[in-house]
Each structure stands twice: as structure tokens, then as C-alpha cells.
A = this chain, B = another copy of it.
Amino acid sequence: MEQPIGVIDSGVGGLTVVHELMRQLPKEPLIYLGDTERCPYGSRTEEEVKQFTWEMVRFLLKKNIKMLVIACNTATAFTIKDLQEKLDIPVIGVIKPGARAAIKSTESDYIGIIGTEGTVRSEAYSYALWQIKSDIDLISLACPRFVPMVEKGILDGPEAKQIVETTLMPILEHKKMDTLILGCTHYPLLKDTIQEVVGKQITVISSSEETARETSTTLDIHQIANESDRMPLHQFYATGDLQIFIEITQKIFKDSNFEVLTIKHADLHNV
């Protein structure tokens, strides 16, 4: 099926999911929509997050998507059940793929989760993990400094390392923890720095990589993978300032072929 996969996010973090989708599923055309104008969602009310998410979904449904990926932890936590019930196409979020990968990885059954305040407060990861395996021990930590840092492009170097070290201190005391979930789609851009700080003995799970992998499984189960060998064209939309969005996109996709993607402004008021 040559129809595109739709990917939504509150801003630019979901681009790490897109990057992984392009790497792991290079035949699939993608449409990305980032609500950069109203980002971040982490501190919004549940009602607002639901309303904004539905506006994005309606925009993408008009583009004839065959599947929806909610590439935002906050939006996943608040809307996935509703979207899965009401849409005719498969819908996946970023939380369960990360939870499943962590369960596969852990030997001590002691898992750490870092995310935005909204995601940590929602306890969505705890619920996803305990639904599958009741005797998992969890330690979660909100890292409010990470998203602004990424948006400023501070991904490595001494400043990044110092912020990551200071922030993660409280969970590093838990010596039994052997797996750490990056429960925010911005964080994979800090993965190398985080791995350096936590040490090699801890497996760092990128929800972006894992979500791309489960997208592959989902396409397969629903028999809607693209079997054509034509080079796919990707479309990126943002609701806010395009200049900043293009700059961040270029940073994330520095190794990619820019000819296969177009970047446009999306107006959600007229959907």
C-alpha cells in the first residue's frame, strides 16, 4: 500500500521517530505534522491535549494516511485509547513500544523512566509496564531541562554533560536499575550523552527506535506495508515558525537526502 504513514507530535521531538522510520522502513512514505505553534504539550491540560491532537489527526486523515503514529509521549498518554477506538486505521503510540523493549532488556526487573513532567505525572509507563509484568520495580524522573536544551541544539559537549549529570543524579543512586527508558521523543537526540553519564552497564531504550520497530510489526499484521520499490516522498508540516523548524529538521536529518522531503506550513484552524 503506497499511502503514507501519518506521524504527529507536539513539536519537533517526533522527528526522531520519523528519522528511525526512514531508517528502519525506507520504503514507506511519511507525513509528519508538528504542532510547533502550541508546543510544549507537557504542561497543558488533558482537555487541551485531546483537542489539539484531534485537530492534527483530522488534518492527516484528509491526506489519506493508512496508519497513525503518535510520536509524542504526552499525546499518547492522553489520547491513544480514544483514537484507537474511533479511527478505522491502526494507531500506535510511543509508550508501549518502549515498555516492551525495557521488559525484554531488563534482567534485574528494575527499570528507570525519564520524561517530561506531564508524562511522568500521567504514570502511563508504569501502567503499560505493570499491565504486562506486575513485579517490575520502577523509578521515574521528570527532566524539565532536557527539552529546552535540545531545542537550543545543545546535544553534547561539556554543558550538555553537566546538565544531564546533575539531572539524572537521583536515579543513578538506584544500583539495581539496569534499563532506562527515554520516555520523551526529544531525548534520543541526547542518547550518546545520557549513555555516557549512566554508564555501559545500563541499557538505554529509545522510544523512537522502538516505535519505528513496532510500526513495522503493525504494518505487517494489517498487511498494509508498501511493497513498491519506488523512492518514497515525505511531507513535513509544522503549525508554527517554519524557519526554526527547517533548521532543526536539517540538524536531525543531516545524513538524509533532502530532495525526498517537502516542508510546509499547516493551518489547523481550517481543518
A100 proximity list for chain B (CB < 8 A): 24, 213, 216-217
Q: How far is the CA of A49 from the CA of B134 in the complex (A)?
A: 38
Q: Is the CB of B229 within 8 A of A132?
A: no
Partner of A229, one of B27, B134, B218, B229: B134
Q: How far is the CA of A221 from the CA of B96 in the complex (A)?
A: 11
Partner of A221, one of B90, B103, B227: B90
A window 197-249: CB within 8 A of B: 209, 212-214, 216-218, 220-221, 225, 227, 229
A269 proximity list for chain B (CB < 8 A): none
Q: How far is the CA of A84 from the CA of B22 in the complex (A)?
A: 28
**A90, A96, A132 pick with most chain B CB within 10 angstroms:** A132
A window 68-104: CB within 8 A of B: 90, 96-97, 100-101, 103-104
A45 interface residue (CB < 8 Å to B):
no
Interface size on A, residues (CB 8 A): 28
What is the chain B residue whose CB lies nearest that of A229? B134
What is the chain B residue whose CB lies nearest that of A90? B221
What is the chain B residue whose CB lies nearest that of A214? B217
Q: Is the CB of B90 within 8 A of A24?
A: no
A24 proximity list for chain B (CB < 8 A): 100, 103-104, 132-133
A96 proximity list for chain B (CB < 8 A): 217, 220
Q: How far is the CA of A225 from the CA of B104 in the complex (A)?
A: 17
A binding-site residues for B, Cβ under 8 Å: 24-27, 90, 96-97, 100-101, 103-104, 131-135, 209, 212-214, 216-218, 220-221, 225, 227, 229
Per CB-CB distance, the 9 closest pairs between chain A and chain B, nearest first, are A104-B213, A217-B217, A100-B216, A24-B103, A26-B133, A221-B221, A214-B217, A100-B213, A24-B104
